[in-house]
Amino acid sequence: MKAVIWMIVGGLANVGLVLLVAPLAQGVLRKVTARIQSRQGPPLLQPYFDLLKLLGKEDIESGESPGMQRFAAYLSLAAILAVACLVPMGFSAPMNGAGDVILLIYLLTLCGICTLLAGLAAGSTYSLVGISREMMSMIVLEPLFAIALVVGALHAQSFRLNEVLSGSVYAVAGTPYSGLIMLVVMVLSFQAFVQRVPFDISEAETELMEGPLVEYSGPKLALFKYAHMAKLIIYSALFVTLFVPWGSGLFLPLAWLLFWAKVFVLVLLVTVVAATHARYRIDQAIRFFAGLVGVSFVALILASYGH
């Protein structure tokens, strides 16, 4: 019984926290980018106002299949919030018993599928080109994260969330080669997971007119934007729990604050990299990630031999 209550309360706490903090992280990102660009930048709370404004607009049906458009919008936010329930954010993961690492991988892939659905539902030429780019990059990108989780699972000898998502990649005797390799790989590809420059190819504004999201406006666009902001928080949280777990053993309020501080630092790093790079072309990005996939396979082999 206690477990069920904990699941519900913890799940709500996680979801609520992600919903609350995601626009703030976006605000910080925009403000820091503006300061790097020598300008004033929007207020920190601006993304909240943007979302409220979009939610208040008229809900227009457009594109080729409006029902699918609506469904894709709901699904994207729902999937990312479901992932929030599976991640230990300073305390144990709420849905620890209900799911494991494989479910996590699938849910993350589902978030990418939502963009595909969105682009198909819109049916315009630009959105179709955009989703073809998104699919190409997903094919080479998702394996990287999956391999990182599997390496952790191999070391922790279990697929349970709490055990894998607590720095398990380093859990070997001696130097954790596979863990360090995966750390470098994830750092190099992190920008692509959170869809920021230099790897925000599918939603390149100047080239493709927003790509898959071209037919979205009003409340449905608000949901997509919210999911995009939440992705930054969720992926940062996953990165922190997998690769930077030190300090999570401290007693509760301190561990929770430390966790969020680490996430915040990661957001700042994402901002600085995004502000100082140009966008890559899709073939250059694919080549880059394919190389990283090769390296991560080496890490997987090392992990299965206990290094």
Side-chain half-sphere of 185: how many Cα atoms within 13 Å?
31
In sequence order, the β-bridge partners of residue 100 are 160
**Min CB(267)–other proteins separation in Å:** 17
Element (H, E) at 86: helix 66-86
- Choosing from 9, 276, 291, 306, the residue that interacts with other proteins (CB under 8 A) is 276
Structure tokens that stand for 136 in this block: 């190409």
**Min CB(175)–other proteins separation in Å:** 25
State the binding string over 212-251 for other proteins (x if CB under 8 A, else -). Answer: ----------------------------------------
Count of residues binding other proteins (CB under 8 A)? 32
**Which listed range, 50-58, 65-73, 160-168, 197-205, lies at the site for other proteins (CB under 8 A)?**
197-205
The DSSP secondary-structure symbol of 246 reads T
Q: What is the Cα–Cα distance from 289 to 283, expressed in whole angstroms?
A: 10
Structure tokens that stand for 229 in this block: 């902001």
CB closer to other proteins, 281 vs 307 = 281
CB closer to other proteins, 38 vs 173 = 38
Element (H, E) at 7: helix 2-36
Tokens 């494989």: give the residue. Answer: 102
**Min CB(132)–other proteins separation in Å:** 8
Find, among 81, 232, 107, 105, the residue nearest to 165 by Cα: 105
**Which listed range, 120-128, 140-148, 171-179, 292-300, lies at the site for other proteins (CB under 8 A)?**
120-128
**CA 213 distance to own-chain centroid:** 18
CB within 8 A of 124, min separation 6: which ones? 63, 214, 215
| 279 touches other proteins (CB under 8 A) | yes
**Which listed range, 37-45, 83-91, 178-186, 255-263, lies at the site for other proteins (CB under 8 A)?**
37-45
**Which listed range, 12-20, 158-166, 192-200, 244-252, lies at the site for other proteins (CB under 8 A)?**
192-200
State the Cα torsion 283-140-71-210 to the nearest 10°. -20
- Choosing from 281, 293, 295, 307, the residue that interacts with other proteins (CB under 8 A) is 281
Q: What is the Cα–Cα distance from 289 to 137, expressed in whole angstroms?
A: 8
- Is residue 15 within 8 A of residue 99, CB to CB? The reply is no
Ramachandran region of residue 41, left (φ > 0), alpha (ψ -120 to 50) or beta? left
Q: Which of residues 253-272 bind other proteins (CB under 8 A)?
A: 272
| 66 touches other proteins (CB under 8 A) | no
**Min CB(33)–other proteins separation in Å:** 8
- Choosing from 52, 56, 125, 246, the residue that interacts with other proteins (CB under 8 A) is 125
In sequence order, the β-bridge partners of residue 160 are 100
CB closer to other proteins, 235 vs 280 = 280
Q: Which of residues 14-33 bind other proteins (CB under 8 A)?
A: 33
Whether residue 42 is preceded by a cis peptide bond, meaning omega within 30 degrees of 0, is: no
CB closer to other proteins, 71 vs 288 = 288
Chain residues that interact with other proteins, rule: CB under 8 A? 33, 35-40, 123-126, 129, 197-198, 200-201, 204-207, 209, 272, 275-284
